[in-house]
Amino acid sequence: MPISVHLLPLIFVIFFASLAHAQTEKILIPEMGNSADAIISPTEEKQTGEAVIRNIRRAGGIISDPILEAYINHLGYKLIAETQDGAQHFRFYMINDKQINAFALPGGFIGVNYGLIMAAESESELASVLAHEIAHVTQRHHARAYEVGDQQLPIVAALIAAMILGGGDSQLAEAAFATTAAGLAQSQINFTRGNEKEADRIGINMLANAGYSPSSMATFFDRMEKASRLYGPQAPEFLRTHPVNTSRISDAKSRAAQLPSPPLQIENDFHHTRARIRALANDNKNNAVTEFAKNLKNGNYQNKQAEQYGYALALIQAKKFNPAREIINSLLKKDPQRIAYLVTQAQLEAKSKNHQAANSIFTKALKVYPNNKVITYYYTKFLVEEEHFKKARQLLTEYMRDPVDNPELYRFLARSESAIGNKSAAHEAMGEYYFRSGQIHEAIQQIKLAIKTSNTDNFFRNSQLDAKIKLYQSQIIATP
């Protein structure tokens, strides 16, 4: 059984705590050729981050919603454009957890709980947290932690191995993590403070350069700190992984005051994202419909179009297609190029059994936005569900010339290849799906079946499949 999503914040606390300790809070800016490379290279950092992400996905911790994923990555890369670190690879993930938290992993993998997005009162506040996490990566805080305390590396390996291999006793795993955390907490506190100060300073500059309010970081921290005093032990998880005090808030305010404040931005995408989360995360479909309808009636919203969009999504979830259609059509008249509206309109027609209309909407949308990730995903999903496997395979093979991060696309490809009789290709695609979903043993088995069912003596293809098996095997960490 995979480790519970609710255990993830603790895992990350321990992960960072176990990296190393230091004796000073002095802020150091890494230079090219940093000696930390001798301890852990950028490639090793990336492999470590990839392994953790695969297993968060395996535990059900990543929200696999292409529209939400597109938003958080667009925002992240808007900030990265201001880092002058174009060589660094980044990926941003929305985490399926209502707790207010975010984290950065080695190699540029950054997760943001949907609870944090709902707690942020503006896109600037959300961007301030992302900027802070990006700074942890660009300053190579993980590698620098290894550098000053490489004796902790086996602990990190053990923790990651435990998370990867899972195990049936989650209570035992939690106890082990807690024990490790207690033993390491004091030894790493100074190092953590130094990292946090540096990430704040760089993040605030990043915010200002990207056109966001530099004071938004202090505003968000201040609200979190007040919440900790109000709620005590029930304080936001964010404060346990990102300790905030009055001195840190004061520093952030002082630094922001030295930077120009940009004009207020229109935050349509931010409000639409929050509305989508509210609609899709509500387990009671009728309650969601009632909530959005009440907000629209009473004018209780920050962005009317976003609230109407959430209302349409809630109506579709409740299978109330006709009123949802009226809202989506009205929204498209105001903003005909918004991809979220186009996809929702197509999905609505598909759920209403108007398959020809849905296909037409998807086809036209792809002509306007060729190779768009969101449209490609939902159109392919539609084609597979309607058993148009040849068209789905054609669309996927064109789009997936390079590897993609979304495992579901490989599952769609596997089903399409299987339906048209390409058994070996189907097994290979399923291997990719399992690997990216953190199920490595299953992935290896699928690639072996791909070799076994291959009808070709093509040396190049067989060598590729053998190389995949070796790659997958290299990702299996022995039980500590």
Instruction: Sort strands 91-95 and 109-113 into parallel, antiparallel or unpaired.
Output: parallel
Core vs surface per residue 98-129: b (16+ CB within 10 A) or e? bbbbbbbbbbbbbbbbbbbbbbbebbbbbbbb
Q: In what order do the strands lie in the sheet with 109-113?
A: 91-95, 109-113, 102-105
From residue 243, how far is each of 22, 40, 232, 235, 389 by CA, in Å? 17, 26, 14, 11, 51
- The answer to whether the beta carbons of residues 113 and 100 sit under 8 Å apart is yes
From residue 90, how far is each of 50, 258, 422 by CA, in Å? 11, 29, 34
Q: Which of 373, 312, 363 is closest to 74 using CA atoms?
A: 373
* CA torsion through residues 438, 441, 446, 450, sign: positive
Q: What's 35's DSSP letter?
A: G
Looking at residue 174, its amino acid is E
Token output for 173:
């795993």
Residue of 200, 237, 417, 432 marked catalytic: 200
Residue of 50, 69, 125, 133 marked catalytic: 133
Core vs surface per residue 450-462: b (16+ CB within 10 A) or e? bbeebeeeeeebe
From residue 352, how far is each of 317, 358, 472 by CA, in Å? 12, 9, 42
C-alpha span between 210 and 418 (Å, rounded): 46
Helix (H) or strand (E) holding 104, with range, is strand 102-105
Q: Three-state DSSP class for 215?
A: coil
Q: Which of 269, 287, 267 is closest to 341 using CA atoms?
A: 269
Cβ neighbours of 268 (radius 10 Å): 15
Answer yes or no: 200 catalytic: yes
Known catalytic residues? 133, 200
